Amino acid sequence: MNAQARLGTFVLIAFVLFALFSSKIGGFQWTEPEGSSIDVLFTDASGISIQTPVLMAGVQIGDVASIRLKDNQALVTLHIQPDIRLPASTRAHIAGGGLVGEKYIALHATPGDKQPLAEAVIPSSSGGDFRDMINRAAGLTDDAGRFFSKAERITDTIGTMIDENRADIRATTHGMARLIEENRPDIRDTTRGISSMIKDNRKHVDQLMHALPKAADAGQKFFSEGANAMHDLRELIVDNRENLYRTLFELRLGAENLEAFSDDIRRNPWKLMKEKPEIKADRRAKQRRMEEMLMTTGRMGIAPAHK
């Protein structure tokens, strides 16, 4: 083997060794890894990248396979080792190893849960990242600072208003004190009268307070029964609507006949002395027959015969 062949063989072996070393350092796998894939949705996946470790109870059981955006959220696909079976109560959150430590995905589940995880997507929960807690604490501190700043401004405004109106406040206070002092006997007598009236009528007040619940119950029962009675009356009127219309029609017809008879007797009293009083044709007879037919049959005339 000449020198060029030996040099080429050496370069090829060095390149293969470099590729194997790089894949080992970078975690690159030439074949499809064994295990299962689980998806987790995070509202914020800052600090997470591919090959980020996945830990459960402090033990690494997988790593991050991919990260992509879905519905304005970060969909993180986790590669779990083949010998790991996640329980149904598994939850995921992003945690960090201290103030400057790298972030990782922590899985936690209910102790003793042996039911296997059925879905390929596990929910996420708010994690225990110390930096997130510091950020939230800083936000609360800022809110408290703004609150106290506003409270200080309000206190200054109230103090300014009191200083500007100190004379009016003093005059109003003195006026109220003088008014109370001048009317102290009347106020004392009124208070004593009210106390005496309450004491004298304590028995009646106690009876009234004792009777109020019964009266309220009786009133409620009365209105409930009244509502039921009105409902029954409404149903009765609806069921007997045609009979009511017929009765009203007969009453109106009888009133008209009585009025016509009275008028006829007043004008022509000698007609009662005839053996066969003359019966004149009534002008409204046809109209009454049409109204009666309308009330009883719902038609204005006789229904045509069916051929």
**43 in any annotated domain:** yes
C-beta of residue 124 within 8 angstroms of C-beta of residue 76: no
Instruction: Express each pLDDT in 242-264 by its tens digit.
Output: 777 777 777 877 887 788 778 77
Residue 63 pLDDT = 92
Q: Which of 165, 182, 199 marks a domain boundary?
A: 182
C-beta of residue 87 within 8 angstroms of C-beta of residue 56: no
Residue 303 pLDDT = 47
- For residue 282, give the nearest of 249, 252, 257, 255 by alpha carbon: 257
Report the alpha-carbon distance of residue 298 to residue 241 in Å, rounded.
13
Beta bridge partners of residue 122, listed in sequence order: 40
Do 48 and 79 lie in one domain? The reply is: yes
Do 171 and 133 lie in one domain? The reply is: yes
pLDDT beneath 50: ranges in the chain: 302-307
Q: Assign 129 to helix, strand or coil.
A: coil
**201 in any annotated domain:** no
Query: Could you tell me where the DSSP H helices lie in the chain?
Result: 3-26, 130-164, 166-182, 184-200, 202-239, 241-267, 285-297
State how beta strands 121-122 and 73-80 pair: unpaired
Do 50 and 97 lie in one domain? The reply is: yes
Domain that holds residue 262: 241-297
Do 61 and 140 lie in one domain? The reply is: no
Number of domains in the chain: 3
Do 144 and 117 lie in one domain? The reply is: no
Do 71 and 157 lie in one domain? The reply is: no
DSSP-derived secondary structure for 152-217 = HHHHHHHHHHHHHTHHHHHHHHHHHHHHHHHTHHHHHHHHHHHHHHHHHTHHHHHHHHHHHHHHHH
**202 in any annotated domain:** no
Report the alpha-carbon distance of residue 307 to residue 302 in Å, rounded.
15
Do 111 and 168 lie in one domain? The reply is: no
**108 in any annotated domain:** yes
Q: In whole angstroms, what separates CA 272 from the centre of its chain?
A: 82
**191 in any annotated domain:** no
Cα→Cα distances 284→214, 251, 256, 280, Å? 60, 16, 10, 12
Do 134 and 122 lie in one domain? The reply is: no
**51 in any annotated domain:** yes
Residue 305 pLDDT = 47
Do 108 and 157 lie in one domain? The reply is: no
